[in-house]
Amino acid sequence: MTRILDFNGRDAERTVTVASIAALKGGGRQYVQVTAGTEEEAAAAEAAGIDMVVCLAAAVPEVRRGSSRLFVTAAIDFGGEVNTDDLLATAFRSLSAGADAVITARRLDAVRLLAAEGVPVMGHLGFVPKRSTQFGGVRHVGRNAAEAGTLWRQFQDLEEAGAFAVECELIPAAVLAQITPRTAMATISLGSGRDADVMFLFQSDICGESPRVPRHARTYGDVASLQRRIMDERVRALSAFRADVLSGGFPNDSEVGGIDPTELARFVQSLDDDR
């Protein structure tokens, strides 16, 4: 655990820092990152020893309530930010709320602006879901020499723009294995093989909550069946309560308050006297 001062100048402890992420290069060690969108998910990630989480910018306050120690990256492309001023404003709000870094898939000028303001910024290369139609659907990016060459130039441009790390989504494992040692940015693999500085999966996939698990993910739990059981038990309990109410079975004498018969008689007499 490392003592830091957060964006608001307050004492805090973090599992990892921007500096320790950058220091992963060539060190033979990897960090583990998952998504977390709720207080519960963040608390579970910390309890499991996860190093880093990523969430939507709007979820940062709730995630921080779940964990004060995890390294939190805010995704700032999903709140209606139209121009770079909007992105910058969202980035500062996220940092003020407790984020340690931001991630954006926007153009290089946006990355430069954020980095110039001292915001620790990650990029996103390879398959970018919001641009899936441009790739002709969901697929790996960098599957031939020309496409891999273009991807490498994108890595170089992103590094030059000031990103300290980059999410690498659906890049062929052998391609990322060549890129990781050649870039100063920490590489975060989502479906791009083991040769990265940080390994990343969605918590919903890991825990078995997703209706469809992507090829690159692996499921380690079955939270979905537990959630179904909870829902079934909730409906059963509510139905039983309703049935008891309609049949006169709720409440019974042990579930209501009482009054001494003499006191009740005095009260009733007072009501009669008020007529």
- Rounded Cα gap, residues 157 and 163, in angstroms: 9
The catalytic position among 117, 169, 233, 255 is 169
SS3 content of the chain, % helix, strand, coil (to 5): 45, 15, 40
Cis peptide upstream of residue 251 (ω within 30 degrees of 0): yes
The span from the CA of 20 to the CA of 17, in Å, is 5
Tokens found for residue 87: 């992105």
| Strand extents, DSSP E, the chain | 2-5, 11-14, 31-35, 52-56, 71-75, 101-103, 121-126, 165-169, 186-190, 198-201
* Active-site residue, 81 included: no
CB 167 within 8 A of CB 192: no
How far apart CA 58 and CA 85 sit, in angstroms, is 17
Residues with catalytic annotation?
Answer: 169
